[in-house]
A and B are shown apart, each in its own frame.
Chain A
């Protein structure tokens, strides 16, 4: 049976596929970068989704800290997993885009560094979750770390951007985003909105799955006793 979040996710994925088709066939080619720029329609929305997951993680962590139940930690775990997936997608698409435009797979640019740190923090959160036994201490530890990640992300972004902007301003502004025409920009904004919808739906679907997994495990143990 399909619940609301699954239906939302399927709907979101269908619209996302349509947006990608439009990105491939409808919007014009970029003068400077050619066809390769089309990856922006995946890369930028994925980055927004990665950072939105940190916001969801913060809210979920506050709820879990207040209620102190494992059920509320499921939302944090779902947000972190989905966030990590989108962060890796952002890094991968950024690398693919960077090779033909910057001539390198990786550079220690501000945004790349911040996104890389975010991936490490999401990974750290999941490791802590797996390494801590189920119970109040797991809820508390993971929620505290979740809050730290969410609080840190915008400030790290600010400090790293400042650091790079001060020293290597030429390496940051490479993609020439400000020269986008209206069709390109509107499709990109639509893509971001759809990706955020898909991201939130994914988080809720994943949360339901995590809760079901735990319930199944408890029932199996109960049956054994």
Chain B
């Protein structure tokens, strides 16, 4: 699905990583680890193409637009329109990927993430949500987008134990169905019982 070869990146003349290579295939879970400032989020941003300026190659398999089969979760934001409700947000984002979104499916997935009730789902604007609720909504979108490759940067930020457990289940299902994920996290619990590879950043910069 994804092949990163000999990737080098410097930020303001400070090398973050050099000669970094890895590949991600169906069913793979690749964890990116390393201390703060080692370039984990930068690596995800480079893979998505949100930032440029690295040498080396980042290749996605197939000829189709990689954005149609990848989903992204940012560490510091959820990508939600604050004045719209949870259901309207999901409908909007899904309809950028597919001709029509099923409102019933949206309701079911929202409920499975603990965002229950008509008021919370369709009336309350997202700006009134707590940090944890917004993260749950972003993860509900990830599940609904049904992409082959997940690029996740600290997905558990602001979540309680129940939501963490739900996320692990969701990730497990995704991998079992032949999906893959690149995961940046400091939280060992997510990957504990899942087969994964770890890439540690930070050593190369020193």
Contact = CB atoms under 8 A, between A and B. Distances in A.
Contact of B52 (A136, A218, A221): A136
Nearest to B12: A221
A225 B52 contact: no
Interface residues of A, number: 6
A222 interface: yes
B36 interface: no
B44 to A, nearest CB: 18
Interface residues of B, number: 5
Interface of B: 12-14, 52-53
> Main secondary structure on chain B at its contact with chain A?
loop
10 contacts: A135-B53, A136-B52, A136-B53, A218-B13, A221-B12, A221-B13, A222-B13, A225-B12, A225-B13, A225-B14
Contacts, number: 10
Interface of A: 135-136, 218, 221-222, 225
B56 to A, nearest CB: 18
Nearest to B52: A136
A221 B15 CA distance: 12
Nearest to A136: B52
Contacts of A136: 52-53
A218 B52 CA distance: 18
A67 to B, nearest CB: 14
Contacts of A221: 12-13
Given A218-B13, A222-B13, 8 more contacts: A135-B53, A136-B52, A136-B53, A221-B12, A221-B13, A225-B12, A225-B13, A225-B14
> Which of A136, A218, A221, A225 has most B Cβ within 10 Å?
A225
Nearest to B51: A135
B182 to A, nearest CB: 24
Contacts of B13: 218, 221-222, 225
A118 B133 CA distance: 51
